[in-house]
Structure 1
Amino acid sequence: MTAGTDTGTGSATRIRGISPADWDAVAALEAAVYGPRGLSEGRAALEARGEASPSTCFALHHELRLAGYLLAFPYPPGRCPDLLRPERTAHRSDNLHLHDIAVAEDLRGKGYGRTLLHHLSDAARAAGYRRISLVAVSGMDTFWAALGYRPQPGVTPPPHYGGDAVYMSKTIREGRPHGAQNPRAPHDTHH
């Protein structure tokens, strides 16, 4: 989305696409949030995932700092990205996989995460996606269930997501995809 999108959480807060200058702050926030759980991927993996679908990866800026981010990209339903290696391919799919969302500790519980999720849902619908999937980790499946995500029987996330990981998805648009804005053809995002 464009810079200056009103988040509804205050005039000093903006959501926009992730820029090259954001990646150091994204990697630091990711390490702070996911590192203690053994789930940190590092900058190279995060950047590769962001480059796979820049139109569905967002930075939340609050009072002149990166205070949150969200990474989502097309991925086949029922499958999960490998946390142990960067993926350089954007898949053709009507499923958008919410891979990562993080908000700075001092802003948690104030609606910024939900604002990022609403922003993603709006962008996903506009681009023609039918569903959003995710892997709930660290016992967060009840949180995601309250937001309408449902466990998908028969889909077991790889062990590196943790023993309590649950693959979940939510339908955001009924019927067939309406266009080719994205889902897009696979391609290598690195030169």
Structure 2
Amino acid sequence: MSAYPTITAHSALIDDDLLVRPLTEHDWAEVVPLEARAYTESGLSEGGEALRSRHRAAPDCCYAVEHKGEFGGYLLALPYPLGHCPDLSRAENRAENPAENRAENPTGRASTNLHAHDLVVTERLRGRGLAPRLLTFLADTARARGYATISLVAVRGSEVLWAPLGYRPHPEVRLPASYGKQAVYMAMPLHP
């Protein structure tokens, strides 16, 4: 059972003034500059086209966050086989995307793993513990959709934030160079 009440098929209230809803076209005017502010200095910014390509690959797994009716951040996720992740230096290409390789699996989807690719909250909402709550929302959503695992790449030392949620490091996974030397691939099983 989900910890969050369902508002629509794809939206949920996290608390009285925080709504998670599907990402829409008008959100990109906020998403792209927010991503640039969050990652450019550390060399991890993907740019607008790569971000949009992740959304095109899995629009039903990408969300905007609203706080009191105003844009408050975003969460991009997409199916990717366990042990794989998008390359920050390239846009998704359906022909090359490992998520599109239709291996047999119990759900009939390309992957039984949902990869939490990017999560950024606006500067005014930082420090409120929203990122772990949003990843919990995503895990609940993934579980309800039949995914077996959820993964992410922890950057800039953030693995200490995700470990208490159940994510475990997988140092054997080789990451694209675009993540830098200190990035850590992490995953957790989604038990029913």
**Same fold (TM > 0.5):** yes
Cα pair 2:132 2:162 within 8 Å, conserved: no
Q: Trace 1:135-150 onto structure 2 (pairs within 5 A).
A: 135-150=153-168
Query: Where does residue 121 of structure 1 map in the other structure?
Result: 139
Deviations 1:155-183 (A, max 9, x none): 12122101101111011136xxxxxxxxx
**Following the alignment from structure 1 to structure 2, what is the Cα–Cα distance between the partners of residues 98 and 69?**
11
Task: Calculate the TM-score normalised by the size of structure 2.
Answer: 0.83
Q: 1:68 aligns with which of 49, 73, 77?
A: 73
Q: Trace 1:62-141 onto structure 2 (pairs within 5 A).
A: 62-89=67-94, 90-91=99-100, 92-141=110-159
Cα distance 1:124–1:4, how it changes in 2: closer, same or farther (>3 A)? closer
Q: Displacement, 1:112?
A: 2.2
**Following the alignment from structure 1 to structure 2, what is the Cα–Cα distance between the partners of residues 108 and 169?**
24
The more displaced of 132-141 and 82-91 is 82-91
Gap regions ≥5 residues in structure 1: 175-191
Question: Aligned-residue CA RMSD in angstroms?
Answer: 1.7
Q: Displacement, 1:43?
A: 1.1
Gap regions ≥5 residues in structure 2: 1-6, 101-109
Query: Where does residue 17 of structure 1 map in the other structure?
Result: 22
**Following the alignment from structure 1 to structure 2, what is the Cα–Cα distance between the partners of residues 4 and 151?**
30
Q: 2:44 aligns with which of 31, 36, 39?
A: 39
Query: Where does residue 165 of structure 1 map in the other structure?
Result: 183
Work out which structure has the larger RCO, using CA pairs closer than 8 Å and 6 or more positions apart in sequence: 1
Cα pair 1:26 1:66 within 8 Å, conserved: no
Query: Where does residue 188 of structure 1 map in the other structure?
Result: none
The more displaced of 111-120 and 97-106 is 111-120
| Large movers: runs of 4+ above 6 Å | none
Cα distance 1:128–1:108, how it changes in 2: closer, same or farther (>3 A)? same
Other structure's SS at 1:85 match: coil
**Following the alignment from structure 2 to structure 1, what is the Cα–Cα distance between the partners of residues 186 and 27?**
28
Other structure's SS at 1:37 match: coil
Other structure's SS at 1:169 match: strand
The percentage of counterpart residues that share the same residue type is 48
Q: Displacement, 1:84?
A: 0.9
Other structure's SS at 2:135 match: helix
**Following the alignment from structure 2 to structure 1, what is the Cα–Cα distance between the partners of residues 12 and 173?**
36
Alignment: residue pair count: 172
**Following the alignment from structure 1 to structure 2, what is the Cα–Cα distance between the partners of residues 66 and 88?**
28
Query: Where does residue 30 of structure 1 map in the other structure?
Result: 35
